[in-house]
Structure formats: structure tokens, C-alpha cells
């Protein structure tokens, strides 16, 4: 089975006879390990040349051996005609001849900002220039996004790289894209303490913000589908600090609606819940995601894979949560193999509706060879093992 087939089978009612291995937040892994993953120049990440983009991504897959990949959008075709890379003694620049501008490119910086397609970065600022205090201010700062025109994405060439990848490495790998949960996205409008206090004192305002972010997330989902994605990594942090009632009232309804939208497009949803799930298990399951993924046990709470399986009780696919520091980074091969086998055995108890994964991103200190070992150990033939239950 190809990696894509393994993951697709994991989402079926009968599960997968062979185990897929994935790493969460592949973009961080690539940023931190570029030179070990590919011989391509680092500026290939921003190159407007299609073959450059394909070359470094092929190297990443060949070197790592994991079973999914993040599907990118790209510069529109007309824009690419005026773009070029200039290597000079004072640096490397992306030149736009049509606009008469140039942008200095920076090499990947370990643990630095995350580089996504088209030169964008993502993250939350601790300093907010304006924090909306009313629904009218929210609406002014969060305008509704235009709906996606799938034909236009193809016509203008924004999907050219995605199409090329799907015809290349995508034949064997499962294509995903990331979407942020509506409530977690509120941290882009308010500082941490404001979100927390507003959830208690102004829940209607928070709910209104979630509605605006939900609309934006739905547009992102439909764009992902137009590009050819098959899965959505639905990421969420900090909501474990909400009370169970607050979580159920403010977080679950927009998440459940977003999951329904993902399902309606024909894609699968993977809800990555960061933090302590204690007191929120039923609410997490009420979201209705096709798969659940949790952090490893390392912050004073327990998310052991067998405990997760007991809570899920066959209701959805589960992703593994192998410890990315204590096991992947620091453990010897024997310990790594033992933990993978333990997690796979737990996954087989879930009717093999399971994908081997990490609980958190690969660390900068983890050698690429160790990540490859993790994938190879997961992929090993288990046909002689006990029958699946």
C-alpha cells in the first residue's frame, strides 16, 4: 500500500492493514532541518520556477519517508512571469520586474518564523494595535471573505504547484492543509488575558468573533478542497484552560459546524487538541471530527495512547502521540521501536483506524535519520503478528 492508501484505509470502517507514519507540522521540520533534507539551495522555497519547488519537496519525501504532505498554493501564473531570483554579494532577492520591487530572502532559521507559500508567515503577536470591544468593531476588523472560485484558482495558475505535486509525490502521499479553530483564532484579535476574561464576562462577543472566524475557516476549507487536499488538520491551542462548560458552549458549536463543512467537501477532518483533555472528553468527541490527535503526556497531564483509545471507544480514527522529545529525540532505537509497537497495538484495538504520529512537532535537535527510523519502524511488516481485533 502507498502512504496515501494506508491513511485512506485508516478512515474506512475496516481500518488499515498497514500502518502509515506521519509527522505533524512538517513545515517546522523542514525549516529546522533544511540542509539535512535536501541539497537544493535554501532560496528554492521562494523560487517562481516549478521544477525548483518540486525538486526540494521530492528530496524531503525521499529522505524522510513519511506518508502525507502539506499541499501549497502558489503565485498566480501572470505574477510568476515577472518574478525571478537574484543572487548577489549582498544577499538573495526575489525580484518583481513588473512592480519594480525586490524582497530580500532569508535562509531558514532554526526555531524562527515559519515560512509558508508566497513568502507569508503565520503567528500571533503579543502586541495588538486594536482590540475590538464591540460586535461592530469586530465586523470592521474581520470582514467576511469572498467565496472561493475553484475554476479561477486553476485558471490563474494558483493551483499549478498543487497539481504538479499531486501528479508527482501526491500519487503516494495523502495531501493535507491546516485550518485554525475559530475560538483559538480569537487570540489574533485579543491578548491572552482578554480572551480568557471575555469568555466568562462577554461570551456573546466571543461567540460573535467565532462566527466571523468560522466563515473565514470555511473559505479556507473550500480553498483547500479546490487545490486537491484530502484532509484538514484542524489545529487548536489554549482552550484546555477554559472550564468544561465554557468549552462546550463557545468552542464546540463552531467546531462542529466546521467539521460538517469539511465532511461536505469530501475531505477528512483531523482535530488536533493541544493540552489537557480532562473534563472535556465528551465535548471533544461531540465535535464529530473524523480523527483526533493529542499531545503526548509531558505537561503534568495524562494522554497515554491506551487511555485515549478507551475514551474514543471506536468512534473515530486516532492519531498516535509518540513523545517527540523523550522518545523520538532522546531514546535509543530499541526504545523507539517498543513505543511504536505499543502505540500500533493500541491502534489495532481501534479496529486499526489508526495513523502513527507524534504528539508535537519534531524538535530541531532530532536528527533526520531518527525521523526516517521512526517511519521505517512504523512501516515494518506486521503480517506475522496476531490478527487485528
The domain made up of 3-79+134-379 has a fold known as: TIM Barrel (3.20.20)
- Residue 388 is predicted with a pLDDT of 43
- Residue 114 is predicted with a pLDDT of 61
> Got the DSSP string for 322-364?
B-IIIIIITS-HHHHHHHHHHHHHHHHTTTT-EEB-BSSPPPT
Residues 58 and 208: their CA atoms lie apart, in Å, by: 43
- Residue 247 is predicted with a pLDDT of 98
Grid cell digits, residue 255: 467546531
Please give the span between the terminal C-alpha atoms of the chain, in angstroms, as a whole number.
20
Angle (nearest 5°) at CA 17 between 13 and 23: 90
Residues 289 and 287: their CA atoms lie apart, in Å, by: 6
Residues 36 and 50: their CA atoms lie apart, in Å, by: 22
Among residues 375, 28, 71, 352, which one has the least CA distance to residue 230? 71
Average pLDDT per consecutive 10 residues, the chain (389 residues; last block may be shorter) = 98 97 96 97 97 97 97 94 97 97 95 56 45 94 93 95 96 97 94 95 97 97 97 96 97 98 98 96 98 94 95 97 97 97 97 97 97 98 57
Amino acid at each position: 500500500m502507498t502512504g496515501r492508501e494506508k491513511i485512506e484505509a485508516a478512515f474506512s470502517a475496516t481500518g488499515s492493514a498497514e500502518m502509515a507514519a506521519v509527522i505533524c507540522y512538517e513545515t517546522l521540520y523542514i525549516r529546522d532541518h533544511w540542509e539535512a533534507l535536501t541539497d537544493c539551495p535554501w532560496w528554492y522555497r521562494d523560487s517562481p520556477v516549478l521544477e525548483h519547488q518540486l525538486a526540494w519537496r521530492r528530496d524531503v519525501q525521499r529522505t524522510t519517508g513519511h506518508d502525507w504532505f502539506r499541499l501549497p498554493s502558489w503565485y498566480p501564473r501572470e505574477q510568476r512571469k515577472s518574478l525571478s531570483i537574484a543572487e548577489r554579494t549582498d544577499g538573495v532577492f526575489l525580484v518583481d520586474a513588473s512592480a519594480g520591487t525586490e524582497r530580500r530572502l532569508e535562509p531558514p532559521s532554526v526555531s524562527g518564523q515559519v515560512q509558508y507559500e508566497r513568502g507569508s508567515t503565520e503567528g500571533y503577536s503579543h502586541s495588538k494595535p486594536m482590540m475590538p470591544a464591540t460586535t461592530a468593531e469586530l465586523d470592521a476588523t474581520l470582514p467576511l471573505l469572498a467565496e472561493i472560485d475553484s475554476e479561477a484558482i486553476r485558471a490563474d495558475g494558483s493551483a499549478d504547484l498543487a497539481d504538479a505535486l499531486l501528479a508527482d509525490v501526491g500519487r503516494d502521499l495523502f495531501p493535507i492543509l491546516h485550518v485554525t479553530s475559530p475560538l483559538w483564532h480569537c487570540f489574533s484579535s485579543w491578548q491572552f488575558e482578554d480572551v480568557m476574561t471575555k469568555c466568562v464576562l462577554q461570551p456573546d462577543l466571543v461567540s460573535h468573533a467565532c462566527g466571523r472566524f468560522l466563515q473565514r475557516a470555511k473559505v479556507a476549507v473550500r480553498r483547500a478542497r479546490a487545490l486537491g487536499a484530502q484532509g484538514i488538520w484542524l489545529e487548536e491551542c489554549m482552550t484546555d484552560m477554559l472550564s468544561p462548560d465554557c468549552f462546550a458552549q463557545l468552542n464546540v458549536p463552531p467546531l462542529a459546524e466546521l467539521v460538517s463543512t469539511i465532511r461536505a467537501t469530501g475531505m477528512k477532518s483531523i482535530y488536533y487538541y493541544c493540552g489537557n483533555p480532562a473534563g472535556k472528553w465528551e465535548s471533544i468527541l461531540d465535535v464529530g471530527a473524523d480523527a483526533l490527535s493529542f499531545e503526548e503526556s509531558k505537561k503534568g497531564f495524562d494522554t497515554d495512547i491506551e487511555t485515549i483509545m478507551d475514551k474514543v471507544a471506536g468512534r473515530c480514527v486516532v492519531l498516535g502521540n509518540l513523545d517527540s522529545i523523550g522518545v523520538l529525540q532522546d531514546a535509543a532505537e530499541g526504545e523507539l521501536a517498543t513505543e511504536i509497537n505499543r502505540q500500533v497495538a493500541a491502534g489495532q484495538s481501534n479496529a486499526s483506524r489508526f495513523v502513527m504520529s507524534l504528539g508535537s512537532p519534531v524538535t530541531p535537535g532530532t536528527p533526520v535519520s531518527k525521523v526516517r527510523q521512526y517511519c521505517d519502524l512504523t512501516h515494518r511488516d506486521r503480517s506475522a503478528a496476531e490478527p487485528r481485533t
